[in-house]
Amino acid sequence: MAVKTVRSIKPFTPQLVYIEPNALEYPLGVELKKKFEKMGLEIRSTTSHNQVRNIPGDNDLQKYRNAKSTLVVGVRKTLKFDTSKPSAEYAIPLATGCMGHCQYCYLQTTMGSKPYIRTYVNIDEILDTADKYMAEREPEITRFEAACTSDIVGIDHLTHSLKKTIEHFGERKYGKLRFVTKYHHVDHLLDANHRGKTRFRFSINADYVIRNFEHGTSPLVDRIGAAEKVARAGYPLGFIVAPIYLHENWKDGYKEMFEILDRKLAKDARDDITFEFIQHRFTKPAKKVIQKNYPMTKLELDEEKRKYKWGKYGIGKYVYQTDEQEDIKDTLYGYMEKYFPNAKIEYFT
Ligand code: SF4
């Protein structure tokens, strides 16, 4: 099966920018305002992000799409970090929202009626808070995940707040940073002084899944090209295969994904690689939102075909049947061991 040629995507440029007045009390807020003015973007001011109600559009669908290309420059008020199991102890909030259109993205349910992208300019306060969390657990290492509420790499070429965070962790003894992305715009991060404290992960999937369900994100080959650059820059590297989605010829699709990875990733860029495997799942509320935001979706969301797994707050999720999960594990672990015998499996969920 040959992978069809897919066009690369350009770095994200917002169609509309809102700036909260108190964001201009921070150097990054002032810098971003100047930058966006120079770029000729439409800038509006708002008193609070909750007042960003006038996203243009004739109906909910249009508003949803326009919101995903709207950037709000604001201040993070809540400095209590959420937990982020299983990949880290805490989520570090640098931004929320994403310009991508992955039909299974859980931000659709967590961000509800506010799907616009919000970047936080009080980065020093956020990093100070991270230091306090580290101090509480010393001498244990505390891991922070920077991609829980956005695809942070996808917007960082504009803000550089992730770059600053990487360098902050480079200087910390008891902290580690990690994040995952579906974007390949990594060049500005290659010279960051990371000192091996940041694990740079890429979300990868079978070509069929990316083409059908991950619109507005970088094609697989571009993500892998970026992974190679990142590995060469000395970052510990990781891949999250997610969501693993059963489709016609899925075994061939995932085999091909591993073959491309093997072909493109230089042998000397494989010293420290991890894999995380996450099967596709959905909740009843998520199914409703997906069908509203993507009415033509081909995503299989049939509860009858799935196994019900009890979840937090009484909202259970629908995962694959036990025998299917075993088949997924055997197949994907097999490919991983064949092509990347020295890589480490972090978990399957
Ligand atoms: Fe959601 Fe990640 Fe896709 Fe963005 S790239 S829409 S955060 S799944």
- The yes-or-no verdict on residue 1 having pLDDT over 70 is no
Q: pLDDT of 293-306, one tens digit each? A: 999 999 999 999 99
Distance (angstroms) between ligand 1 centre and the Cα of 39 equals: 25
pLDDT at 2 over 70: no
Residue 7 has pLDDT above 90, yes or no: no
Confidence of residue 61 (pLDDT cuts 50, 70, 90): confident
Q: Answer yes or no: is pLDDT of 23 > 70.
A: yes
Nearest CA to ligand 1 atom 5: 100
pTM of the model: 0.95
**pLDDT for residue 53:** 67
Q: Which long-range contacts does 234-237 make (Cβ < 8 Å, 24+ apart)?
A: 234/194, 234/196, 235/194, 235/196, 235/198, 235/199, 235/200, 236/196, 236/198, 236/199, 236/200, 236/272, 236/274, 237/199, 237/200, 237/201, 237/202, 237/269, 237/270, 237/272, 237/273, 237/274
Residue 51 confidence (pLDDT):
66
pLDDT classification of 50: cutoffs 50, 70, 90: low
Nearest CA to ligand 1 atom 8: 105
Ligand 1 interacting residues, C-beta cut-off 6 A: 98, 100, 102, 105, 107, 150-151, 182, 217
Q: Which one is predicted more confidently, 55 or 97?
A: 97
All domains of the chain in start order, with CATH: 75-348 (3.80.30.30)
* Predicted local confidence at residue 47, as pLDDT: 74
Q: Is the confidence at residue 251, as pLDDT, over 60?
A: yes
**How far is ligand 1, taken at its centre, from the CA of residue 105, in Å?**
6
Q: Residue 313 above 90 pLDDT?
A: no
**How high is the pLDDT of residue 15?**
95
